[in-house]
Copies of this chain bind each other. A is one copy, B any other.
Amino acid sequence: MYSNFISHIRKYVELDDNSIEVLHKYIKQTTLKKKEFLLKEGQICRSIHFVEQGCVRMYFTNNKMTEQTTQFALENWWISDFSSFIYSKPSEYFIQTVEKSVIISIDSIQFEAMLKELPQMERYLRIVMQRAWAAAQLRIKYMYELSKEEFYNHFCQSFPEFVQRVPQYMIASYLGLTPEYVSELRKKKL
């Protein structure tokens, strides 16, 4: 139970068995089927989520009424609409499972109580957020720098597991490509 979650925290900070007991009070584990929602547009995002098992994506509905995926999270990644979570404003996103998933969630009230009782979680989350910021900087750089074909090739090289697990149309959406174009690029690579 929670084994990925605990290992991930222990990668960065010390967490003894007593602290794990304390941590249990603040977190909620849920098993979700494929395509279930953790958040829907218009709701206030009240929790941050850790992917213990499975895969989750974040998307919004663009002005052409199609789903635009902006983020994926596989095992050991955190996902949330942080603007909605921090400022308590209605979200413009959906957060949905891509496959059957086990999710560990901490809601905003429990979050503050947990940080008070387990200050090492401040350090853990500072490190996680810092890495997420680094990843976002890189992502923004690629969005400026790479052609669509380069972006696709880079994605396949960097995250081969994603390409196996995630439907092609979601990857296309994430990369800002049409599914037809991804299909062409895929044929070219074979």
Chain A: residues with CB nearer than 8 A to chain B?
Answer: 60, 62-63, 68, 70-71, 81-83, 85-86, 92, 115, 119, 122-123, 125-126, 129-134, 136-141, 143-145, 176
Contacts and interface: CB of A to CB of B under 8 A. Distances in A.
A134 B86 contact: yes
Contacts of A81: 137
18 contacts: A62-B145, A70-B144, A81-B137, A82-B130, A83-B134, A92-B141, A119-B122, A123-B126, A125-B126, A125-B130, A126-B129, A129-B132, A129-B133, A132-B133, A132-B136, A136-B137, A139-B140, A140-B140
A130 B136 CA distance: 12
Given A68-B145, A83-B138, A141-B70, A130 B129 contact: yes
Contacts of A85: 134
A46 B68 CA distance: 36
Contacts of A125: 126, 130
A68 B141 CA distance: 9
A139 to B, nearest CB: 7
B86 A140 contact: no
Nearest to A78: B133
A143 B142 CA distance: 12
